[in-house]
């Protein structure tokens, strides 16, 4: 069996319960991929987006309804070694990628504050723009279940709000475009396991800020959330699941205030009625 065949078959056999079923469940539950869609599958070279691309490629072959996909890689200024790694993985996995170049790293290197935020924002804009040029109506990103849970917790602890990462969103700046997250119900640990099983090596961030940092993202807020959740799970193994499902069980009768479409609403609005 060729490496690309092993990688694809392992998704639906060895990792059927851990990856394929959660992937299909998210696609159906949140209506992420529908008939006639043309999806820009955004591959960064990391483990998450690579697995997502293989899942969508597999779905294309056996779906009950027709849809198309463009597998795109945005090069923000990768080193030659990282560029070759992405190309090698794409070839080995038979992913028909389109690579387009940008100078995002060059721009963010000059940023005085929050280079990672600026980089992420610019990347997203470039992906939307390129997807539009290809005639796509959706872009697919590789965020997974752990990203969703950590984001929910981060919003409460660092931003004083209850906000989660949504399975799909309408683009605010590109009319008719949507962002979808097909790995929304897949755990990061299972993605890591799939990569190791298939002998794959992936990029992390690949910018100078990560490469020059001795311990990577150790002190980031997201890493702190990972550590906090891991500690809480020692007492209650369902902590991560409970955080995730809490955003599906919001009882507005016990919420002091909330926002809807940017408008503030207080429990006092209807208290005397």
Instruction: Provide the pLDDT for residue 203.
Output: 85
Instruction: Provide the pLDDT for residue 215.
Output: 40
Tokens of 50: 């690579």
Query: What confidence tens digit (pLDDT) does each residue in 120-163 have?
Result: 888 888 999 999 999 999 999 999 999 999 999 999 999 999 99
**pLDDT bucket at 209, cuts 50 / 70 / 90:** low
Instruction: Provide the pLDDT for residue 206.
Output: 57
Query: What confidence tens digit (pLDDT) does each residue in 7-62 have?
Result: 999 999 999 999 999 999 999 999 999 999 999 999 999 999 999 999 999 999 99
Instruction: Provide the pLDDT for residue 108.
Output: 74
CB contact at 8 A, 34 and 67: yes
For 181-237, the three-class secondary structure string (H helix, E strand, C coil) is CCCCCCCHHHHHHHHHHCCCCCCCCCCHHHHCCCCCCCCCHHHHHHHHHHHHHHHCC
**Is residue 261 helix, strand or coil?**
coil
What is the average pLDDT value for the chain, to the nearest integer? 91
Domain ranges, ordered by start, for the chain: 3-214
User: Average pLDDT in the 214-237 region?
Assistant: 81
Rounded Cα gap, residues 104 and 100, in angstroms: 12
CB contact at 8 A, 23 and 185: yes
Instruction: Provide the pLDDT for residue 182.
Output: 99
Instruction: Provide the pLDDT for residue 114.
Output: 64
CB contact at 8 A, 108 and 122: yes
Instruction: Provide the pLDDT for residue 214.
Output: 39
Beta bridge partners of 258: 265
Distance of CA 104 to the CA centre of its chain: 20
What lies within 8 Å, CB to CB, of 197 at 6+ separation is 10, 14, 15
- Write down the CATH number for the domain with range 3-214: 3.40.50.620
Pairing of strands 138-140, 38-42: parallel
Give burial (CB, 10 Å; 0-12/13-18/19+) of 257.
Answer: exposed
Rounded Cα gap, residues 224 and 176, in angstroms: 36
Instruction: Provide the pLDDT for residue 88.
Output: 93
Query: What confidence tens digit (pLDDT) does each residue in 183-198 have?
Result: 999 999 999 999 999 9
Handedness of CA 77, 79, 80, 82 (dihedral sign): negative
Query: Is the predicted pLDDT of residue 216 greater than 60, yes or no?
Result: no
Nearest to 143 by CA among 22, 52, 240: 52
Query: Is the predicted pLDDT of residue 217 greater than 60, yes or no?
Result: no
Instruction: Provide the pLDDT for residue 119.
Output: 79
Query: What confidence tens digit (pLDDT) does each residue in 74-114 have?
Result: 988 888 998 999 999 999 999 999 999 888 887 877 766 66
| Tokens 């602890």, located at residue | 157
């Amino acid at each position: 069996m060729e490496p690309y065949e092993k990688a694809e078959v392992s998704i639906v056999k060895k990792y059927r319960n851990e990856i394929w079923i959660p992937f299909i469940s998210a696609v159906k539950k949140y209506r992420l991929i529908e008939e006639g869609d043309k999806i820009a599958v955004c591959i960064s070279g990391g483990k998450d987006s690579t697995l997502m691309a293989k899942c969508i490629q597999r779905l294309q072959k056996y779906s009950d309804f027709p849809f198309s996909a463009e597998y795109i890689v945005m090069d923000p200024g990768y080193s030659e070694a990282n560029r070759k790694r992405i190309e090698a993985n794409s070839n080995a996995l038979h992913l028909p990628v389109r690579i387009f170049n940008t100078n995002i790293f060059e721009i963010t290197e000059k940023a005085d504050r929050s280079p990672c935020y600026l980089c992420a924002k610019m990347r997203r804009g470039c992906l939307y723009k390129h997807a539009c040029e290809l005639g796509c109506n959706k872009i697919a990103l590789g965020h997974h279940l752990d990203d969703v849970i950590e984001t929910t917790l981060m919003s409460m602890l660092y931003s004083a709000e209850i906000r989660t990462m949504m399975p799909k969103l309408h683009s605010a700046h590109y009319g008719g475009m949507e962002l979808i997250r097909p790995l929304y119900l897949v755990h990061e640990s299972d993605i890591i396991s799939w990569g190791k099983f298939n002998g794959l090596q992936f990029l992390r961030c690949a910018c100078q800020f990560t490469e020059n940092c001795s311990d990577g993202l150790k002190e980031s807020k997201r890493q702190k959330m990972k550590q906090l959740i891991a500690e809480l799970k020692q007492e209650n193994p369902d902590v991560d699941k409970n955080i995730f499902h809490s955003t599906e069980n919001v009882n507005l009768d016990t919420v002091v205030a909330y926002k809807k479409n940017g408008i503030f609403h207080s429990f006092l609005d209807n208290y005397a009625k």
